[in-house]
Amino acid sequence: MVSYLVRRLLVGLLTLGLITCMIYGLIRSMPGSPLDTDPAMMDPSKMPSKADIERMRAVYGLDKPLHEAYWQWLKNAATLNMGTSYSQKKPVAELIAQRVGPTLQLSVTSLLLSYLLAVPMGLYATVRSGRPDERSMSFVLYMLYSFPSFVAALFLQLLFAVKLEGTWLELPLMGNQSNDYETLGDMAQAWDTFQHMILPVTCFTYGSLAYYCRFVKANMEEVIRQDYIRTARAKGLGPIRVLIHHAFRNTLIPFVTLLGLTLPGLLGGAIILEGIFNWQGMGLLFFESILGRDYPTIMSLTLMFSILTLSGQLLADILYAFVDPRIRYS
Amino acid sequence: MNQKDRDSVVVSAGFWQQSWHRFRRRKLSMFALYFIGVLSMIAVFSPMIAGTKPIVCRYKGSIYFPCMGYYNRTWENPIFQKDRFRRIYPRNLKRKDPDSWAIWPLVYQDPHRPVRRNEWEGMKGNPYGAKGQPTSKNWFGTYKTGFDVFASMVHGTRIALLVGFVSTGIAATIGITLGAIAGYMGGIVDLVISRVIEVVMCVPALVLILSLQAVIEDVSIWNIMMLLGLTGWTSMARLTRGEFLKLRETEFVAAARCLGASRTRIMFRHVLPNALAPVMVPIAFGIAAGIQVEAALSLLGFGAPPPNPSWGTILNSGRETLQSGYWWQLVFPGMGIFLTVLAYNLIGEGIQEATDPRLADPGN
């Protein structure tokens, strides 16, 4: 197990090196540089002089050839120095710390909600399998699963923020909180945050809810046919006890893998949804930094997402061996 | 065995035939297949459904097909430009050649421009803004600039279907080839290809698309399709690799090797057909994903560049006027994307169940 882990980690480091190298090359070849995407620079009266531009290029390290600049970045990254954002003039670590909160606020809520709802719904679907109510539920869930979340986001915005404007059902169009948030009392602040979260959380949740629900049902259908379930029923256990203690516990293994694979999504946010709702999270930060050619921010975010993706896969493999003793790594 | 005996042997249905038989029994999947068929017809014949250029017309003694201009600008007959039609056909045809005749598209609306007043005798121009609600003339309403949403959507079908097919085609080619090589060769080749898969999985498609603009002056929809293909092959490569790892140990591969078949021949002639069934599923889902990603890119402002309308760009222009409550600009393109994605998902599901050997018919 230990040798397997060491090997996986070493290979993972190699992969990370490859990824960052590739991204660094790619973003440096994108048109424009941080110097000419800043709107302040567009103003002809404030056009920096040639000497100023040279000085700024030196400060940003843009005057160095690609490989030297990459090596410099790599050395800094190894000491956890992620650099300073060009456009916001703040350390990248600070920027990320600011944006992680709102993203987690959405992703953790949505993850909890979808798991809490999906398990009972999946179990219900197993019990009522083939009946009209189960069939209609599965049909609706399948439709939801195929419904692109950005389309749903726009539809919900249109319905709740525009068409129902002025009624008690009205919900805010976008943003994390209202403009007068600071002046509100504690309860009103919580209510305000809750209202702003409803639409984004709905859009984040319904797709994965449908997916997990189908996942639970598919796994349960396989387990429920096993001999030990028949035995449990035969010895007179109640249907609920059989369903949960004997059947559902045995479907947990695939669940664990799924959890490992959702790890990067938790912190990564979603560029499109955060963009539509103007939610100040990681996805929006990534999008803004690409538009502004903010190299240090793009690099740090990519590094972070890559580490999360790779460790999510590793975690899934390791957990797999833990919950299923038949699997061995050597 | 003589001829008579040979005739009496019942040939059992092959794997693909059996699968097709099982697929056909799933009503929803078949319905989805028909839906995609209808959409493909709409895509192919879009200039004949909605347009302002005649399908066929007789002008100054010759027959022309001006509607071909919708497929490609240069296919529109130059004579109409020379005679200063300015893209308005009905009035000019009659005025410049009283003996001319033309067969018109079903709906006289254009995806590239709003229809103006008096293009036909006594015809009203397209309304815009809040007046652009769906009417009998503008079935799906108009944009704030007066463009017809229905015409844009009909012509957008071409892109919607092309994006899915082309990007998934590229992805499948790369994914199956690399997966096959990695799975069959094993060892160091497998290690290298697996790392490449991981790297591509981690590279955000958005960074790739933006850096593509560095290399190519104006990014066309074809570049975007290529890029979606170049980034979307990882899941197929992993699946193919897994199948090949399993199949290379089987007896029929050993037999082929004993007979002296070359490595490429074994890989693509013997193993691949047996590994193809599981890969069919991500292909169907990949088409759905391609359509979604293209639309999402359009929403971010990186989609199909004008003048080619795609459903994503229509949705995006609907988003710009969202706060005015012009629902028709969102609902129609949104439902179009949804139904197409749903259809491909249903087909993917159908293939999954139809090719699952555990559900195969016993015996014949």
Do both B164 and B277 map to the same domain? yes
In a domain, B24, yes or no: no
How many Cα atoms occupy the beta-carbon half-sphere of B267 within 13 Å?
Answer: 17
Structure tokens at B155: 């012509």
For residues A79 and A152, give the distance between their C-alpha atoms in angstroms, rounded to a whole number.
43
Do both B174 and B314 map to the same domain? yes
Q: Is A162 on the interface with B (CB under 8 A)?
A: yes
Residue with tokens 């999270």: A281
In a domain, B28, yes or no: no
For residues B135 and A246, give the distance between their C-alpha atoms in angstroms, rounded to a whole number.
59
Do residue A30 and residue B198 have CB atoms under 8 angstroms apart? Answer: no
- Least-confidence region, from A263-267, A276-280, B23-27, B351-355: A263-267
A-chain residues within 8 Å CB-CB of B206?
A: 271, 286-287, 290
pTM to 2 decimal places: 0.82
The alpha carbon of residue B2 is apart from the nearest alpha carbon of chain A, in Å, by 48
Do both B322 and B175 map to the same domain? yes
In a domain, B17, yes or no: no
Do residue A305 and residue B338 have CB atoms under 8 angstroms apart? Answer: no
Residues A207/A212/A214/A218 CA torsion (nearest 10 deg): 160
Do residue B315 and residue A162 have CB atoms under 8 angstroms apart? Answer: no
For residues A85 and B280, give the distance between their C-alpha atoms in angstroms, rounded to a whole number.
44
Do both B108 and B159 map to the same domain? no
For residues B204 and B229, give the distance between their C-alpha atoms in angstroms, rounded to a whole number.
13
In a domain, B326, yes or no: yes
In a domain, B40, yes or no: no
Task: Please report which confidence band the pLDDT of residue B175 belongs to, taking 50, 70 and 90 as the band edges.
Answer: very high
Do both B280 and B315 map to the same domain? yes
Most A CBs within 10 Å, among B190, B202, B291, to test the A interface: B202
With beta carbons less than 8 A apart as the criterion, state whether B219 and B304 touch.
no
Do both B166 and B275 map to the same domain? yes
What is the ipTM, given to two decimal places? Answer: 0.79
With beta carbons less than 8 A apart as the criterion, state whether B340 and B346 touch.
no
Task: Give the end of a domain, one of B115, B141, B167.
Answer: B141
Task: Give the end of a domain, one of B104, B121, B141.
Answer: B141
pLDDT > 90? residue B112 = no
Do both B181 and B56 map to the same domain? no
Rg of chain B, C-alpha, whole Å = 26
What residues 116-135 of chain A have any CB closer than 8 A to a CB of chain B?
Answer: none
Which H or E element spans position A76? helix A66-78
In a domain, B132, yes or no: yes
Do both B239 and B335 map to the same domain? yes
Which CATH number fits the domain that encloses residue B250?
1.10.3720.10
How many Cα atoms occupy the beta-carbon half-sphere of B8 within 13 Å?
Answer: 5
Do both B134 and B169 map to the same domain? no
Do both B158 and B136 map to the same domain? no
pLDDT > 80? residue A110 = yes
Q: Is A147 on the interface with B (CB under 8 A)?
A: yes
pLDDT > 80? residue B249 = yes
Do both B108 and B230 map to the same domain? no
Do residue A26 and residue B211 have CB atoms under 8 angstroms apart? Answer: yes
Average pLDDT of A86-113? 85
Q: Is A244 on the interface with B (CB under 8 A)?
A: no
Residues 6+ apart with CB under 8 A from B100: B57, B58, B59, B60, B93, B94
A-chain residues within 8 Å CB-CB of B345?
A: 142, 145-146
Q: At what angle do helices A149-156 and A186-223 cross, to 10 degrees?
A: 140
Q: What is the pLDDT of residue A225?
A: 83
Out of A29, A142, A155, whose CB is closest to B330? A155
Q: What is the pLDDT of residue B364?
A: 37
Task: Please report which confidence band the pLDDT of residue B18 belongs to, taking 50, 70 and 90 as the band edges.
Answer: confident
In a domain, B316, yes or no: yes
Residues 6+ apart with CB under 8 A from A218: none
Total domains present in chain B: 2
Q: What is the pLDDT of residue B363?
A: 42
Q: Looking at chain B, which residue has its C-alpha nearest residue A27? A: B211
Do both B296 and B187 map to the same domain? yes
With beta carbons less than 8 A apart as the criterion, state whether A200 and A134 touch.
no
The alpha carbon of residue B215 is apart from the nearest alpha carbon of chain A, in Å, by 8
In a domain, B35, yes or no: no
Domain residues for B208? Answer: 150-359
Task: Give the end of a domain, one of B112, B141, B170.
Answer: B141
